[in-house]
Amino acid sequence: MSRFFSSRLADLVPYTPGEQPREDGLLKLNTNELPFPPSPRVLSRAQELTRALQLYPDPDCTLLRRELAQAWGLEPEQILCGNGSDEILSFAFQAFCSDDRPALFPDLTYGFYPVFARANGVPWREIPLREDFSVVIDDYRNLEGTVFLANPNAPTGLQLSPGEIEVLVRQDRGRVVVIDEAYVDFSRQSALPLIRHYDNLLVVRTFSKSRALAGARLGFGLGDPALIADLNRVRCSFNPYNVSSPAQALGRAILEEEDSVPLRCGAVVQTREKTVLGLRERGFSVTDSRANFVFAAPPHMGGETLFHALREKGILVRRFDKPRIAEYLRITVGTDAQMDRFFAALDDIGKEAGGL
């Protein structure tokens, strides 16, 4: 770092995204993207909807928020749009955490949470998952702070039911609960209906996963109008033009085909279940994932060894260098053909090594 870098951030460890390869022929199962692109109609409609690019985008995402509200039976004042859900999560760390109100989140979860906390100068506390990687709601009882839960969780893929989320929200009506639902469309078990009854619940979603717009960077938060106003205050103090005109147009075009989302996700879920079965048949330990990825540990070969062996076969997966999960790999669910290639590579590795 330079001699000018802020001493406040000197020990900041940034989030490390999954490898984004530039080589041809690699099978990319490491960043949980949807294996299907947006339809040609969506891309065509987005071109029609995009306003002149010499003008700034609508800072309030007025039309997109209106259409999101119609899709979920809400009011536009209950919705905030962001440059990906990550931006909205960062706003929530700024808006709802402070020295006497730390961020609370599991010890094994989305790796950006501690980075958001550190970068925004707020304290945080990690609540250990149980041995089976489950979140136990009672572990958050009587804790002061703002709760952040990815649900389904990443990288484990495990999910709390809406009923369990409601218990968490009701534990302390004086604290905010942020539910990060990046992968919820692969389970269809959302906490969204609860925001009509609880003013301390914020639900955060993204167009990156189930809606195939990871490259557009578009997310949205849903909650009580007062919570959304708080987030807007932070947003407008940072960048009021945070969502580009093309991203807004793409979001609106995708919403015109919202009925196709369950079909795309259903195809991923079917492939996910076949992938889980194939891994278990080969002796892997696999969690009960409700996302578009699986979390699995080989029976004999070390996770790091298998990670590198797959990379040599041209297949990228994700590994996290934490003691409790060092032997696990997070594997994005691709198409059936892509998973066939994955299993062929896996079997070749097993044969070469005398077993997995």
Confidence (pLDDT) at 190: 97
For 102-122, the pLDDT digits (tens) are 999 999 999 999 999 999 999
Going by their DSSP bridges, the two strands 27-28 and 315-316 should be labelled as parallel
Q: Confidence band (pLDDT; 50, 70, 90) for 86?
A: very high
Domain parsing of the chain, residue ranges: 17-37+260-353, 48-255
Confidence (pLDDT) at 354: 84
Q: Is pLDDT above 90 for 250?
A: yes
For 303-332, the pLDDT digits (tens) are 999 999 999 999 999 999 999 999 999 999
Going by their DSSP bridges, the two strands 201-206 and 27-28 should be labelled as unpaired
Confidence (pLDDT) at 10: 87
CATH number for 48-255 (one of 3.40.1190.20, 3.40.640.10, 1.10.1660.10, 3.20.20.100): it is: 3.40.640.10
99 touches 124 (CB < 8 A) = no
CATH top-level class of 17-37+260-353: alpha beta
Return the number of other C-beta atoms located less than 10 Å from residue 260's C-beta: 17
- Report the alpha-carbon angle 150-137-96, nearest 5: 55
The reported pTM is 0.96
280-302 residues labelled b (16+ CB within 10 A) or e (exposed): eebebebbebbbbbbbbbbeebe
Q: Confidence band (pLDDT; 50, 70, 90) for 69?
A: very high
Q: Is pLDDT above 90 for 18?
A: no
Strand partners of residue 105: 126
Rounded Cα distance, 297 and 295, in Å: 7
Confidence (pLDDT) at 25: 85
Return the number of other C-beta atoms located less than 10 Å from residue 320's C-beta: 17
The pair of structure tokens assigned to 57 is: 């985008």
